[in-house]
Structure 1
Amino acid sequence: MVFRISAILFFAVVLPVSVASAQDNMQAGPDEVTARSDSALVHSYLEEAGVSKGEGDIRRQRKLLGRAYEAADSLDVSLLLKAVEKDLGEYYLETSSYDSAETVLRRAAERSSDGIIQTRTLNLLATAYRYQSKYPEAMKTYNQGLALVDSLESPKVYAAIKTNKASIYENLGNLSKAVSLYQDGITFAEIVEDSSFLATALNNLGNLYFQKGDYEEAIPYLEESIAISEQQGFYNTLLRSKHNLASAHRDLGNYKKSREVYEEAWALQKKVRPDIPPIQLLHSMGVFYLKVSELKKAEEHFQESLEYARQAGVPAGLFHNLIGLGDVSVARSDYTEATDFYSNAFDVGQKVDVPPFRVTAADKLYKSYKKANNFDKALKYHELVKQVSDSLTEAQQDEQLALAETELGLRQQQKINQLLQERQDEQEARIQTQNWLIIAFTVVLIIVIISLYLLYRSNKERERINKELEELNEVKNKMMGIIAHDLRSPMSSMQGVFYLLKNEDLELEEIREIASELEISIRENINMMDNLLNWANSQMTGLKIDIEKVSAFEAVDEVIENLSFSASHKSITLVNEVDTTIEAEADINLLQLIIRNLVSNAIKFSNEGDSVTITAKEQNDEVIFKVEDTGIGIPEEEREGLFSLQGNSRSGTNNENGSGLGLKLCKEFVEKQNGTIELESTVGEGSTFYVSLPKAS
């Protein structure tokens, strides 16, 4: 918990000095002339004290106020004495002498019925109550001041009291109400262009966000308050704002910036308030040094602040500095010394009867005793924390209720609030209109973007379809070329053979040789026809797949048997090394078509005396078929497009023709069975195709 003193809005009373004309003095008696002269002297003291306050010369301010009080008291003029007591009470508030301020201001509030001075005095008296945590008395006194002032005749005083009431809500945890009142104060200051009021209101709101822990939200308000105060020479507000800004940067972890601003605040403190104990600033700097682990400096600052608090009789200063010294001891792992400081802080909290102090001190004692392994005492203070916290919650609720009842008693309609509310309503209406325009523009922009995106997708889809149509047209042309050339050749050969047979122009041996060649050609074309029909069927009607448990050996063996004639014609050995126990999840017809195409390609691109070996092995959840030949291999530049119809088909070692459709079907049918196909090839050494299919479960 950070010790702080909330900012107060001070308004120096500048009463018109009565300057008697020569004629008046001539007509007045000696005693009356003397009284008027002494009254003017009192006012001059007050004016000079106000100037000294603005310049930060607190010592001279106090001396002048003392002289003004002596002169006013000797005259025994109630109104004049009340004005002096008001300024004197304001001085005591500035110097943290709250008891003296309360005494002087209460006496001043009872002396006269003058509305403006009475209101300003009540504002200061309520602030003295607030500084002593007497919130119901403070709220009641603020409302008494509001009841005496006309919001239009004295808008600055009215707004000041409303803003000071925000501090009560802030201290009692009603932060939304506090923020609202502070914002009203800032709005008022901007309307009437009062720089002093604006700087103070900005500092108050920044300090509220700091106390909430919204440090990044606090910083802009504090920086704006500093800028105004530096420009206008409002040194007291400048000191408060720099102090709060340094603490905000400290708790954000911006230690370099925090140290810099603390040093500026300290220099300003010595210049502006040399005779006022810097209790709060020393404590805040002690917290800073504790956070950056400069423990000796932290201890020195807490001790100095503690001594000033003892001299000034400020219980809050005693409490927070004792807590700070306890925290330093904890950082040094000296829990015995820490518990001594925390115990003294707890005693202060009990003496002044401030429950939050007791909660904080008890929680510190609980943690210290726990770290010191004194669990009995740790448990005692842990239970005490809960008890005091519960009572504190009830007390806060009671105070909130009391404040609400007090507020209900204030029935006077305040015109300044209406003015501010109307201005706010106009601003909100403009903002609402702007929001609707932004929403409409956003909706239109989104529609345009979606339309452009759909148009783009439509164009891309059209391009894709056109490309597919072009590819299909190329495939059609290729198929027609295959049918026209590759299928026509064996038919022409057969027609020639039949013609020779018919005319009995061939010998028996020649017929056998031609028949053998013709059989091979017909087998290749049957295989090509199978591929064409399967591809056409898959393109037009969709492929129907019947997945079942298939014996890998039997599927391969049947393919080898069908292709053995073609292989023997080129003296190529077909070897089935598939284990008879291996089973795959596949469509038997598609699997045999895949193996047949791969083996046929291997025969086509092998030389006489080469071999083609088919193996299979189980690996994880797959069966991997391997079709390996010792043929001529596939050049690197021909592998691209090998599994599509875009590649060029090449002739075999015996000038065998091909459509290029077989490997495309292999890839398509393998993938439809949740498998993969891969190729390895070395020119002059052979090629190996790998087909992976799911293993039978």
Structure 2
Amino acid sequence: MINKLPYILSSLIVLLINNVYAEETPKFYNDSAEDLFYDSPLESYKMAEKALVMATNMSSTHEIVRAYVNLSRYYTFKENYQRSLDSLYVGVEYINEIPRETAEQLLLSISQNHLILHSNNLTFDQFINSNDEEVFWRKNYNVLIKLSAYYYNNYSYLNANDNLQKALVLAQNLNDSSCIAEVNYQIGRLAVAIEKYDRSLVYFDKALPYTIASKDSLRASKIYSYMGESQMLLKEYSTADSLFLLALSFSSKSTKNHYLVLKNLGKFNFNQGKYAVSKSYYLQALGNMGNNYDSDKAFIFNELGDISLLDHQLAESKMYYDSAIWYSKRFQDFKNLEEALVGLSEVAVKRKDFKLSNELLKNSKIAQSKSTEQKEMEAISYSNAYFDTYFKELQIIDLRQDKYIKDLILEQEKEKTSLLIVLLIVVLLGGVLLVLWFIQTRKNAKLEREKAKVARDHNEELMMINSVLSQSQKELLNANQIKDRMFSVIGHDAKGPLISVRNQVFGLIGKVDKESTVYEELVNSEILIDNVIRLINDLLNWAMLQDEKIELNIEKVDFKEILEANLSLYQQVIDRKKIVFDIDLPSNTILDTDYQLLSFSVRNLLSNAMKYSPEGGEIKILSQRTESSFTLSITDHGPGITEEKMDSIFRMPESFVAPSPDREGLGFGLPMTARFVKLLKGEISLKSELKQGSTFSLEIPCLK
């Protein structure tokens, strides 16, 4: 402590100077509390108290929560975990009004305190700070509702549902109609988000009576709007129309829900083909939104663009799509951005501007990939250690039931004092058991009869399923034949033109100044065309592997001819990168093997070596032949391969990634090479060192 004293004094002096010259704000005091905590916890506590008072007066929810987190850290330091949790639970009240980073810090602090309490074997009542069961239930109910809203807003639907189900138990214990209605509404809304529309209708029906009785027009409008949306997606169009109109009658023009109802009515009528009515509702929704930059405007402008396009109003359609693009970019809504770009592409086609249409479609593909990434990010689950660890081990206890059990045990202890009563109980129990045995015997006989009936029914169902499966098998065989024809078209009709285009591009490269941007674009185009040709080859070979149609054609093969033929394929790459080859072949290179499989394997290994070799690099090709086997090794001086990637390099990838100038093929080359070498009854291996290079080796039999 003495060693730290100079540092503490200097920190306090700096803090005093900052108090004089800096602007005193809640953020300043919270930052000071965090800086001083490890060296002077008491001073940190005082700063947090000042931050709380000032943030409360200024209604700054973010700084209020930060202040409570800083206070809880001090209480935890003093091992006053109960008071620490009380501070944190107050912060939960604002969890939906603060940045996600602060919210996650708050939840982490709660979980840490609960884990400490649990490890010290403290009971739930000791840190909930209430012995009154109703206060206990209501306090936990409020926390669960706040947390479920936080998880819902952050797309963590599993955690949201978990908290709502617990909140429903507490609401039923409280016997509070408003709480029960609130939970049912929240569960219904969650069911719509996860596309469980039948389930959502059940919960909305439970929430609706109290909502109507309490004259909560805004909530009623939201419920009817959600119910209409669910019925529409369940294709109950007549019911959906009535529900949307009810939602509209309950909504006020001054609320956000009013334009949402109008938007849903527009969507409903659009799906019904009533485009004029749909357009009217969408325009009313936009008018109700005013100049607010609402993210829903992107969707509405896309719909209006589609309607105008159907009416052949191209100028109007373009205006709407342009607006949709503006709002989509503003709110990073890549799904609506993709749809707007596709719509503009269709407008360009109708205007016979095919070049613009093609550019717009390319941009829409980029937006589509961004939209996919966005969905994956939204699917990330934000865990809450408090409910994941504590509530899974402890159930919410019904204290009234617990009291009843204690009274029953006490009564039984009193009855034990009388031997006569004990004997009477034994006789009664024996009679009851006898009656239960008789009843159970009859039930078992009835159950056996029912089982036999179910077995007969199941046999009939299995026969029907067998028939359906036979038909499905025929359809699958037909589909497989269609797939084979498609791959045949790809292999023979697509590769030839692509090779011609690649040769023309290569010819142009030699005529263009290397310093110009056109030269770089031509080089990238050539690489991309090579990648597409490789992709087609990978697809064809992959299809053959999937169908297991590869049959070995063992014949006399000259390995030297195979090597020379494959090197000539890459002569342009060799010349451009100035790659030097060190080739060592035996005098006898005649093998008994399959020409196509060996040529494919050599081509893939050569391509891989040239791809990762630097300009002016050297590739060493060494082969040896014995009486029964032939070995080949290809060594490059590229960046090398990590051990992690070496473990999976010969396995088929689990997902497809589109080729690009930075990526060749689908990643099937080496896995298929390994499969082909195995078909040749050989083995393939890899040795690699980072920044040193890699050596791929294969060994195959050379005689029949």
TM-score bin (small chain): 0.3 to 0.5
**Larger RCO (CA under 8 A, 6+ residues apart):** 1
Higher Cα Rg: structure 1 or 2? Answer: 1
Q: TM-score, normalised by structure 2?
A: 0.40
